[in-house]
Structure 1
Amino acid sequence: MEPFAFRPRLLSTLKSYNRKTLMADIMAGVIVGIVALPLAIAFGIASGVTPEQGIITAIVAGLIVSVFGGSKVQIGGPTGAFIIIIYGIIQQYGMEGLAIATLMAGAFLILFGLLRLGVIIKYIPYPIIVGFTSGIAVTIFTTQIKDLLGLSITDVPADFIEKWGAYAANISTIDMWSAIIGVASVLLIAVTPRFSKKIPGSLIAIIVMTVAALLLKNFAGVTSIETIGDRFSISSELPDAQVPQMTWETIKSLVSPAFTIAILGAIESLLSATVADGVTGDHHDSNTELIAQGIANLASPLFGGIPATGAIARTMTNINNGGRTPVAGIIHAAVLMLIFLFLMPLAQYIPMACLAGVLVIVSYGMSGWRSFTELMKNPKSDVAVLLITFFLTIIFDLTIAIEVGLLIACLLFMKRMAETTDVKVIMDEIDPNDELDIEQGNLEHLTIPKGVEVYEINGPYFFGAGNKFEEVMAVFGDRPVVRVIRMRKVPFVDSTGIHNLKNLCIMSRKEGIEIVLSGVNSNVRAVLERSGFNELIGKENICDHISTALKRSKEIIGENA
């Protein structure tokens, strides 16, 4: 195995950097920065923090992911996937608890990268990803109904079902002007791509609806439209770095949500990088990317930020506008910094209903309803994982959904892997034309001597496979003198398989039956030798070929005659 290497893509791209690439990166970075602004504000508010914290997260994480990341075009920042888990942590542990959980998630992500888990994480079952992503989308949509319609609810319940009950009970309190702003924002964002590919619909909606709200307030006397300034005190001052006070008890209580943040961040960032690879023809370094995401999540909470990861929509915006190196991501962070320092006070005029409209569109994009409906046509086991993860995300929380979803997926994986391994009986003769482990030059049919049983294991020999011997052995009526176990199609054996095989050998010996292994490859033989099989059945009973195994069987029969 190669030694691990931390390879930020920025270093390799700067070697051949030129003026043309710089101009393309500047253009892409400016556009992505403008696209990221309304999303950062919306994600921050929806997560239960201030608009400033959303933008600071986009600045800090965006800069670090671009400088240290394993992808040329990845754009980091706050995303919709984190909204529910962040909001839940704040409600239970407060802002300091969120900071600690984010720091822990950063440490987990760095550990994932150092342990080279980047490739493994990309193979998390698709039904789980779709299940919790769709569940998050439904939950985000649900949390935005109050602001979208301007409902007068002082305390919105946290529970999904109770929340909809509260909406129904207060439906008469709809503010018509807020509802118009909210619905108009959704429609404007939805139709913008038809006439503008460069300028994001969310930015157009925020500008248009902010102006409309100001006009309604100043010239029509409409004061019922709630804005960001009505709910938050806006500041453009950069916060000082602060390390939260951590206690062992707090750390222990936050392990589960921190691990959820790390897993979610790893999945989303690597998924985003993989999608980007498909468009650009590049190939990202997944382990370096995980370390960069970890560093970003270590830095973000020090400045009051929230968890961050690779953002698919902003990454694709970067690519579509010509960004091809991490410099574009750095410029995107610089643009956000300039907006934060000089234009942040203007954010107080943005209507909350408009931000709700932005998040309604985000939730629709996250829902992946086409993928969801397609997966419903798959095997029942996949459908079960999908629906369980989906409903657990909605009804309980994302932490439980991911943990249970992964557990179910692991159990199904073990079941399917066990089903791929079978044990069969070979009767009478072995045809050399169909075999791979017969000695060269021996092309005659091999006759199985009387008193010898031959079994063949086809597939990995691990959990579940050993028990199949008992079922297959019922085929023979008489007790044999020798049992030959062909292992030519066994690529590996695990500790459970070794345990089962040892038990089979011990039980057979008690019955006066010798075990001979045939076709054992070098890797499996090494594992068996380390486990003491040379002493258990004798080194001479572990054979490379079936020809040798049958010859040894005849010797054993002769010795016992």
Structure 2
Amino acid sequence: MLNNLPPLAPFRPRLLQDLRGYNVEKLGRDVGAGATVGIVALPLAMAFAIASGLKPEAGLWTAIIAGFLISALGGTSVQIGGPAGAFIVIVYGIVERYGVANLLIATASAGVLLFLLGLFRLGTLVRYVPVSVVIGFTNGIAVLIALSQVRDWLGLDIAKMPGDFFSQISTIAHHIGSLNPYAFGLGTLCVIGLFVWPRLWAVDSQFRRQLEHVDTMSALKATSRLPAPVVALVTLSLLAWAMKLPVETIGTRFGGIPQGLPALALPEFSWQTVKQLVTPTLTIALLGAIESLLCARVADQLSETPKHDPNQELMAQGVANFVVPFFGGMPATGTIARTVTNIRSGAVSPIAGIVHAATLAAVVLIAAPLAQHIPLAVLAGVLLFVAWNMGEWREFGRLKHFSNHYRLMMLSTFLVTIVFDLTVAVELGLVLACLLFVRRQSDIFRADPLPQLDPDVVQFRLYGSLFFGAVSKIDPIVAAVEKSHAGVRVELDASQLISLDTSGLDSLEQLHKLVAKRGGQLVLNHLNPQPASLIERSGFGARLRGENASAEHA
């Protein structure tokens, strides 16, 4: 029996393949792209960690360590790994309910699960999650990310935000009187700047055209290449520091970022604790798998590099998520925004992702003390922008073009993600998808009567799949048999019957018993391979042939 199992997936990082024929020209492109993405990742990594209820260095070292491991061991050429916005709501809920130590254990356990998913070639299973479910929970997470940033955006005097949706709204409403106009102004300027900056330097923008003949245009062009989040972070932090604005910063809340390598720490582990963390572990693993493979598919579409290996990618994600908790990190996965930036910056191999991690490490080790001046309202503005870009809001307007089944799956997943939990939402979405698929397939099956040329013969043609959800559709045949005289011959044309399950087989056997009880014959004509195989393996085909042969001899 063990010999019939599929072989395990080989551990073959894409880096080894891409290094064949690697040259100086490719290295230059990768270094430029990696440095650019490293700068982009800096504010995002801190913002994701803070929004998740962790210290900013947790996000930074996750981006560095996991980013390096995912690029070095992954199954894609240009994907960038690290902390992701999708994890904010999940991690915050786990920290609030179980504590940081248990988050680390859940993340490491999820890493083991992810590695096993890849090792046993289950990477393709993630593709079976319906797109309506993915859009639903993605939009739901975007709403929750935006809501979680309202406290820092408005500068509200709230010691700790609760984890669930309605409690957050109630807490914000209760403390709205403590609004800090300076924090609100910085956060709003950040959001506006993030929207405006790339449009200012677009090829067809009026602003760029007016500067075409200015002597300093080359310097301005160099400035235009700076990522918008970095421009917002630097300029608004300088503004707040120079004007001594009374706003909360990384320094006032966390005491700054340690300048040095993270210490290796082993979280306290026990099987009793692991048993309590089954749901958080599954949530992190499920979301990490979905996000990383969706990101890999986006990279395949935008890049000319070879298509990704989903199993190798999951194994790399597993290694990264197993390792980062020992350095105080948070869950990591593939990140679409940074991956797209990497591709557009000219990356051609995983070396770019390794350079991205090295760039981040250099910035943290050299300039960590400067981070204490960053206002939290500015990081909130960055995450509000991330949430806006993360959500696929146009899909709500397009719902009118789709079926009620699609609307039900997307909207229910969206609402349950917001009100309850991502895991519950995905489970509900998959259950609904299965139920609606069963209903749709049962609607397709039908048994149509054929013209009755001989009063001793009842003929029907079967269409579609005869399975457990469609067995009631053969009732017209039963009714026709019951109305006919004894000794009737029932012929079923199965040329359009594409599949049959054991419930469908049982319904045919019950029909056969009814026909035999009335002294008649049941004949199945033109069987396709799958129905024929099941009928033969069950012995039903032999019984039919034997009885029909006996009737002909009689």
State the SS of the aligned residue for 1:407. helix
C-alpha distance in 1, partners of 2:261/2:400? 48
- Contact kept, 8 Å, 2:165 with 2:418, in 1: the verdict is yes
Judged with a 3 Å threshold, the aligned counterparts in structure 2 of structure 1 residues 411 and 232 are, in CA distance, closer, same or farther, namely same
Q: Aligned residue for 1:262?
A: 285
- After the TM superposition, which residues 132-281 of structure 1 pair with which residues of structure 2 at under 5 Å, given as runs? 132-196=137-201, 198-217=225-244, 222=245, 224-233=246-255, 234-281=257-304
Aligned with 2:504 (options 497, 502, 525): 497
The separation in 2 between residues aligned to 1:123 and 1:96, in whole angstroms, is: 33
Alpha-carbon offset, residue 510 of structure 1:
4.0
Q: Which residue of 2 aligns with 1:100?
A: 105
Shift of 1:357: 0.4
- Would you say how many aligned residue pairs link Structure 1 and Structure 2? 523
**Residue type of the partner of 1:495?**
T
Aligned match for 1:484, one of 491, 497, 502:
491
Q: Give yes or no for the alignment of 1:359 onto 2:383.
A: yes
- CA RMSD, aligned part only? 2.3
Q: Is the 8 A contact 2:92 2:163 kept in 1?
A: no
Aligned residue in 2 for 1:518:
525
* Residues 559 and 128 of structure 1, relative CA distance in 2, 3 Å threshold: same
Residue of structure 2 equivalent to 1:296: 320
Quick one: which amino acid aligns to residue 228 of structure 1?
I
With the length of structure 1 as denominator, give the TM-score of the two structures: 0.87
Q: Give the Cα separation in 1 of the matches to 2:30 and 2:115.
A: 28
The unaligned stretches of length 5 or more in structure 2 are: 202-223
Pick the aligned partner of 2:66 from 56, 61, 65: 61
Aligned to 1:338: 362
Task: Give yes or no for contact 1:10–1:67 (8 Å, CA) kept in 2.
Answer: yes
Aligned residues of 1:178 and 1:225 also touching (Cα < 8 A): yes
Shift of 1:131: 1.1
Q: 1:453: which partner in 2?
A: 458
For 1:99 and 1:361, the matched residues in 2 are separated by 28
- Assess, with a 3 A threshold, how the Cα gap between structure 1 residues 165 and 195 changes in structure 2: closer, same or farther: same
Cα offset, 1:499, TM superposition: 3.6
SS in 1 for 2:99: helix
Q: Could you tell me whether the CA contact under 8 Å between 1:260 and 1:402 is conserved in 2? A: no
The aligned residue for residue 208 of structure 2 is none
Paired-residue identity, %: 43
The answer (yes or no) to whether the contact 2:96–2:163 under 8 Å persists in 1 is: no
* C-alpha deviation, 1:269, in angstroms: 1.4
> SS of the residue aligned with 2:261?
coil
Q: Does 1:410 align with 2:434?
A: yes
SS of structure 2 residue aligned to 1:486: strand
Partner Cα separation in structure 2 for residue 357 and residue 375 of structure 1: 29
CA distance in 1, matches of 2:120, 2:496: 30
2 CA distance for matches of 1:198 and 1:184?
20
**Partner deviation per Cα, 1:193-241 (whole Å, 9 max, x = no partner):** 1235632211111101111111112xxxx4x211011111321333343
Q: Which has the higher contact order (CA 8 A, sep 6+)?
A: 2
Residues 107-126 of structure 1: matches in 2 within 5 Å? Answer: 107-126=112-131
SS at match of 1:230: helix
d(CA) in 2 for partners of 1:452, 1:7: 63
Contact residue 273 and residue 310 of structure 1 kept, 8 A? yes
For 2:187, the aligned partner's letter is: G
Change (3 A) 1:487 1:252: farther
- Per the TM alignment, residue 557 of structure 1 is displaced from its structure 2 partner at its CA by 5.1
Tell me the residue number matched to 1:384. Answer: 408
Distance 1:99 1:373 in 2: 40
Name the amino acid aligned to 2:310. Answer: S
Q: Do residues 82 (structure 1) and 104 (structure 2) align? A: no
Change (3 A) 1:467 1:273: same
2:330 match: secondary structure: coil
Counterpart in the other structure of 1:440: none
The 10-residue stretch of structure 1 (478-487 or 373-382) with the greater mean CA deviation from structure 2: 478-487
**8 Å Cα contact 2:81-2:335 kept in structure 1:** yes
Q: Distance in 2 between matches of 1:377 and 1:518?
A: 40
CA-CA distance at 1:395 after TM superposition: 1.4
Say whether the 8 Å CA contact 1:70–1:284 is kept in structure 2.
Answer: yes
Q: Does the 8 A contact of 2:66 with 2:324 survive in 1?
A: yes
Aligned ranges 1:27-66 → 2 under 5 Å: 27-66=32-71
Q: Is the 8 A contact 2:14 2:77 kept in 1?
A: yes
1:449-496 deviations in whole A, cap 9, x for unaligned?
A: 553333332223322222211134324520553333333333433333
Counterpart position of 1:446 = none
Do the aligned residues in 1 keep the contact of 2:447 with 2:476 (CA within 8 Å)? no
- What is the identity, as a one-letter code, of the residue corresponding to 1:215? A
Q: Deviations over 1:518-539 (max 9, x none)?
A: 222344433333323245x245
Gaps of at least 5 residues in structure 1 are 430-448, 542-551
Counterpart CA distance in 2 for 1:252 and 1:501 is: 46
Q: Distance in 2 between matches of 1:452 and 1:24?
A: 76
- CA distance 1:8–1:453, shift in 2 (3 Å): farther
Q: Structure 1 stretch 412-421 or stretch 479-488: which is displaced more?
A: 479-488
The DSSP-based 3-state class of the residue aligned with 2:471 is coil
- The corresponding residue for 2:206 is none
SS for the counterpart of 1:153 is: coil
- The answer to whether the aligner puts 1:370 opposite 2:370 as a matched pair is no
Matched, 1:315 2:315: no
Q: Distance in 1 between matches of 2:493 and 2:402?
A: 35
Tell me the amino acid that sits aligned with residue 313 of structure 2: E
